[in-house]
Amino acid sequence: MAAPILDECLLRSDSPLASLSSASSFFFSRSLRRPLRSVSLASVPSPPARTAGAGFRIACLSTANAAFSISSSHEREKSRLKDFIHISDFDKETIMRILQKASEVKALLKSGDRAFQPFKGKTLAMIFSKPSMRTRVSFETGFSLLGGHAIYLGPDDIQMGKREDTRDVARVLSRYNDIIMARVFAHQDILDLGKFASVPVVNGLTDYNHPCQIMADALTIIEHIGQLEGAKIVYVGDGNNIVHSWLLLASVVPLHFVCACPKGFEPDEKTVEKARSAGISKIVLTDNPREAVEGADVVYSDVWASMGQKEQVSFRRQKFQSFQVDEAMMELAGSKAYFMHCLPAERGFEVTDGVIEAPNSIVFTQAENRMHAQNAIMMHLFGL
């Protein structure tokens, strides 16, 4: 059995995070529902102390941290990127460091401590070309809880690329705000925002990918399984932006990722090749979902028709009938498999009511972790 997670964070005594390490360890000890897999750990030297905002310093010494192993080498260029647009833009060490930070800040908020205010005096501009309950509330609440102020800009407020050029939107919002989040249709829009904004840009979702969701998913998997590396994630459904983001993560972190989808609904070929060519993960595409889920750590589903595809609903429901995650499919996965869904779910179609309400469904923890993962992403972009 792998050694339990144990982090010792050395903090200034007056820091609001002084008890964060023990709170985080307690949180994880309660979250793990089964023993960790056996993991061979190399000796991991401690990273140098980093200033994490006014009032505290953190120097985390991981004695046997299977979930969050961090390299002690100097931060690479990838860790200093301005924007969070693709998970694969960052190296493994940076991704795991962000997830560690997410778990720590989550533990702090769970404890009821509201003294930690790293975003105090900062503003977040939130651009929504696509509506979303989870994205808006998780960003707005999370930024507020950590001391910042978030501004909602809906489809009628900007009409980016129509009423106003994306380049101009990026430059103007950069003059008013400290960071920009955008949830848009075209992936080029987020690329243009990142190119022309002088402040950090966070990808809240595009038709191509959804990196914040997958960071929340990764945090959730670590909480319940004990580690991310080597986990067998079986996605059942449409080869959409969620799949693309999992593939991009698999190009950075070793995973066993399986996408079970009907023929003709596979994910983007170049993204699949990127994940495979990285040579660190096992990537499988199949049209046999019941065979795919055997031995899964996680069975993951999403809507069959994404936003912008609603005219295809009837056609897609016919094509995806055999890809519904039901109780029989979860039995094939095994009693230790968890069910995940990024929500909103169309109950009775891609997943049955019984599965989403079952004890091994972790979809609502997944939804909560959007806030914590996003807070950690923004802290990283701020250099906190």
342: annotated active-site residue: yes
Report in angstroms the alpha-carbon separations of 349 from 297, 337, 361. Answer: 22, 20, 16
Pick the range with the lowest mean pLDDT from 4-13, 66-75, 124-133, 314-323.
4-13
Strand ranges of the sheet holding 50-51, from the earlier edge strand across to the other edge: 7-10, 57-62, 50-51
Contact 41, 3 (CB under 8 A): yes
**Rounded Cα distance, 120 and 129, in Å:** 27
**Rounded Cα distance, 299 and 145, in Å:** 32
Query: According to DSSP H, which parts of 279-362 are helical?
Result: 289-292, 313-319, 327-333, 353-356
If you ran DSSP here, which 8-state letter would residue 321 be given?
G
Taking only the tens place, the pLDDT of each residue in 19-52 is 444 445 444 444 444 444 433 333 334 434 433 3
**Rounded Cα distance, 378 and 202, in Å:** 8
Domains of the chain: 7-114 (no CATH), 123-205 (3.40.50.1370), 211-366 (3.40.50.1370)
Beta bridge partners of 232: 256
Contact 146, 114 (CB under 8 A): no
Evaluate if residue 112 carries a pLDDT over 70. yes
> Which residue from 22, 32, 24 is spatially nearest to 1, judged by alpha carbons?
32
Start-to-end CA distance of the chain, whole Å, equals: 34
Beta bridge partners of 301: 236, 341
Query: According to DSSP H, which parts of 146-266 are helical?
Result: 155-158, 166-176, 187-196, 211-225, 241-250
- Mean pLDDT, to the nearest integer, of 139-151? 99
How confident is the model at residue 306, as a pLDDT?
80
The proportion of the chain whose per-residue pLDDT surpasses 90, expressed as a percent, equals 74
Token pair for residue 302?
Answer: 């999403």
If you ran DSSP here, which 8-state letter would residue 64 be given?
S
The most confident of the ranges 74-78, 161-165, 262-266 is 262-266
The helix (run of H) or strand (run of E) holding residue 21 is helix 20-31
Report in angstroms the alpha-carbon separations of 5 from 21, 117, 226. Answer: 11, 27, 8
Annotated active-site residue in 60, 259, 261, 342: 342
Pick the range with the lowest mean pLDDT from 204-208, 233-237, 314-318.
314-318
- Residue 61, SS3 per DSSP: strand
Q: What is the pTM of this model?
A: 0.81
Which phi and psi (to 5°) does residue 139 adopt? Answer: -70, -45
Taking only the tens place, the pLDDT of each residue in 261-296 is 999 999 999 999 999 999 999 999 999 999 999 999
Contact 38, 101 (CB under 8 A): no
**Rounded Cα distance, 321 and 242, in Å:** 20
Taking only the tens place, the pLDDT of each residue in 88-97 is 999 999 999 9
- Residue 117, SS3 per DSSP: coil
Residue written as tokens 């979702």?
205
Give strand ranges (E) for the chain.
7-10, 50-51, 57-62, 123-128, 149-153, 179-183, 201-205, 232-236, 256-260, 282-286, 298-301, 338-341
- Mean pLDDT, to the nearest integer, of 348-367? 98
Evaluate if residue 80 carries a pLDDT over 70. no
- Residue 361, SS3 per DSSP: strand
